[in-house]
Amino acid sequence: MKLYTHKILYLLVVLLTSYGCATAQKVERYSVGALNDNRVVYALPQTILYMQVTSEVAREIPGELSLYAERYLGTSNAVMEPALKYHLKGIELGARGVANEELRFSIDFRKNSTATNVSLTDDGVLVGINLQEEVVLPKPIDVRSNELKWEELPEIKFPLEYIQATTAAAKAKILADNIYRIRESRDLVVSGESEQPFADGKALEIAVKRLDNEEATYSRQFNGARQTQEIVQLADHLSATEEGRHVVARFSTREGLLPADDLRGEPIYLEIKVVEQSAPLDEKEQKRLERRLSKGIVYCVPGMVQATITYRGQVLERREVPVAQLGNLEALDMILFNTKGRTTSVELYPMNGGLKKVQEINL
């Protein structure tokens, strides 16, 4: 997610300051028709959840001589058919914020404000004012690609007699004999009985490694190959406020992460339990709140939910998550930005609109 930083000269100063509005300034609910060139709009976020599902994917490739693996090499687990197999390694639950279209506000600017540097997300959510450090916005991060990219298997250099053989049975016999000769040569090298002398231990090590590689390459024709890689798949836009247990995705050992309605996979459950929620205000309290909101920069005091992820009856993650939609609105007094000789920095949590840090800074 991009982060936009606006540097506003004194005429645009106060505007986006989602954390403070001078008493003489007016903060209103966002209305496009009411806006003029002397105002800037910011939004408070709504909280959504996402899951990052980490899987190990195994690719199985049969060898051309897999039917002869047990007969010639005594292998009972040779790969017989091509396959992709997914193994669930873990699930990470995260939260991020998106602009709540019902909670957009506009601020009149004044030239005496020190709120000259305002940071917004690309959809207009206020992140901070006069921030001195770069803000890293929480979001689903998948540095590894979901696209499976497999390495090419090493080319096999077969002996001439193998190439000239006309049947699979003959090829299997020839290649098995070569494997046994390689094993015998390696035993002689390791035991020191080889006719070829080695200058030192390093030369011996190189010789053994070369024989190991030759055996592994030939054996692949019988046993097949197994390759693995790790991927991260994403389930996004999960509700943070819908209480109860719900199927939010599914997981298949053949397909990996699947949508909740794809019955090829087993269900992944997300259970939401509200831990803290703002109480409704009576009429007098609501009016007092509206007065505060009209004279300051609006922010959120989030509620809290407990989110639990389960799969196959096992709890994979449980954590408490602050949620903007379950909280209440408050405002910072613009006096923070109108005190001569002082500059205030304010940072918000972009996931839930809550106050993270308010401090005086030196410019």
How confident is the model over 185-196, as pLDDT tens digits?
888 887 777 767
Q: Range with the lowest mean pLDDT among 178-182, 243-247, 339-343? A: 339-343
CA distance linking residue 127 with residue 211, whole number of Å: 61
Given a cut of 50, whether residue 176 has pLDDT beyond it is yes
Domain carrying residue 82: 59-87+153-228
CA distance linking residue 260 with residue 188, whole number of Å: 59
Residue type, position 65, single letter:
L
pLDDT at 201: 75
- Is 186 part of any domain? yes
Task: Please choose, from the candidates 63, 57, 14, 75, the residue with its C-alpha nearest in 3D space to the C-alpha of residue 39.
Answer: 14
- Is 163 part of any domain? yes
CA distance linking residue 335 with residue 22, whole number of Å: 6
H or E element, residue 325 = strand 314-333
Name the pTM for this structure. 0.78
pLDDT at 38: 58
Percent of the chain with pLDDT over 70: 84
pLDDT at 207: 84
| Neighbour-count burial of 30, counting CB atoms closer than 10 A to its CB (0-12 exposed, 13-18 middle, 19+ buried) | middle
CA distance linking residue 65 with residue 74, whole number of Å: 13
Highest mean pLDDT: which of 152-161, 227-236, 267-276, 337-346? 267-276
- Is 211 part of any domain? yes
Both tokens assigned to 88: 């669930």
- Is 234 part of any domain? no
Given a cut of 60, whether residue 25 has pLDDT beyond it is no
Q: For 54-113, give the DSSP string.
A: EEEEEEEE--TTGGGHHHHH--SS---S-EEEEEEEEEEEEEEEEEEEEEEEEEE--TT-
- Is 65 part of any domain? yes
pLDDT at 293: 84
Taking only the tens place, the pLDDT of each residue in 45-102 is: 999 999 999 999 999 999 999 999 999 999 999 999 999 999 999 999 999 999 999 9
Mean pLDDT of the region 232-254: 94
Both tokens assigned to 175: 């290649």
Mean pLDDT of the region 200-205: 78
- Is 194 part of any domain? yes
CA distance linking residue 30 with residue 104, whole number of Å: 5
- Is 204 part of any domain? yes
- Is 175 part of any domain? yes
CA distance linking residue 115 with residue 17, whole number of Å: 6
CA distance linking residue 164 with residue 170, whole number of Å: 10
- The number of domains in the chain is 1
Q: What's the DSSP call for residue 281?
A: P
